[in-house]
Amino acid sequence: MILPSSASESIAACAVAVRAGDLIGLPTETVYGLGADASNNAAVAKIFVAKGRPADHPLIVHVSSQDGGMSAVKHFASQVPPFAQQLMSAFWPGALTLILPRRAGVGTAAAGGQDSIGLRCPSHPAAQAVLRALREVPEGQAPVWGVAAPSANRFGRVSPTSAAHVDSELGPDLLILDGGPCNLGIESTIIDCTRGAPVLLRPGSISRLQIEQACGQRVLSNEELLVQQTRGLEAENTPRTSGTLESHYAPTATVRLMGAKALQTAINMLGDVMYKAGADTKPTIAVYARTPLMKVPLAILLRRMPDDAAATAHQLFAALRGFDDVGVKLIWVETPPDALEWEGVRDRLQRASA
């Protein structure tokens, strides 16, 4: 059932459902999440079942922006390094997840059994309204300190950026809060804060340059740790985290990344065959490209990729879902530019095409 986020009754209903150990579809500025009380291991187990997700694949816990999120962070984390506090001050509420050392006995299922936990303070007003309602303590109950909420889709598939996406994939019995289309459209940047220095585990809308400027430290990668053994940090101790499998965010159709020249060559090679087949042929190939392409047969479904990275991120998952809805078998995507602002989009497309 889809509920409008503008109604206070909808917020209350979602809070009641979470307290009862049920799941909800929760809008955020990145993607829609499948939410449960992060401290209720039985409720969190329902997320893994609904998504078909391995139980050792950790979830991100979403917390309220009250007092900058600090009280919730202290509930789940055993310590918060100074650079992590700087990142919280700079980017929360927002699309940044911090991996922190986990307090023993707290959020075990959400953490996938690890001794670290991923925490995020979303900026979406509907998400914050639910999180604030859960912090209020009804008589005889404890506050809900956070909501574990991975993307509300089947494991490894395209993330949902609208309530309708969630309903089509996980409905109809799920309570879904409709907060409109997600503003950002790709998942949060993930920074590991457990090894003495900021380590980028997943790129997102907040770039590594912004992270460096906010905390005054260079952001490392696991590859750099492996080579440099920086400050005694060991790459093999990298926490498992969401959205970092080689194959992820994948539509039903096969995705192929191609340069603009390769795209045009492929279209030219198929052109004669497709023109002979006629314009009424149901498209089996979709093309998502920034560069203008010549002589594209009508039997190829063409969608223009924006020149701006943020605009592309906003529409990326919806575009991939739209191609699946048409029933194409192949999706040819022009490789995004090798520029810092495109890092999050490149990451999602590389994993979708793996």
Q: Give the range of the structural domain holding residue 289, as residue numbers without chain letter.
A: 254-352
Question: Average of pLDDT values for 87-101?
Answer: 98
* CATH number of domain containing 188: 3.90.870.10
Q: Is residue 18 part of a domain?
A: yes
* Percent of the chain surpassing pLDDT 70: 93
My answer on whether 302 and 327 are in the same domain is yes
How high is the pLDDT of residue 275? 56
**Would the pLDDT of 231 be above 90?**
no
Phi, psi of 189 (to 5 degrees): -65, 135
Task: Give the tens place of pLDDT for each residue, 188-201.
Answer: 999 999 998 999 99
How high is the pLDDT of residue 230? 46
Question: Average of pLDDT values for 324-347?
Answer: 96
Task: Give the tens place of pLDDT for each residue, 126-177.
Answer: 999 999 999 988 788 889 999 999 999 999 899 999 999 999 999 888 999 9
How high is the pLDDT of residue 137? 83
My answer on whether 164 and 33 are in the same domain is yes
My answer on whether 10 and 122 are in the same domain is yes
3-state SS track over 112-138 = CCCCEEEEECCCCHHHHHHHHHHHCCC
Q: How many domains does the chain have?
A: 2
24, 174 in Cβ contact below 8 A?
yes
How high is the pLDDT of residue 226? 55
CB atoms inside a 10 Å sphere around CB 209 = 12
Higher pLDDT, 176 or 300: 176
How high is the pLDDT of residue 227? 58
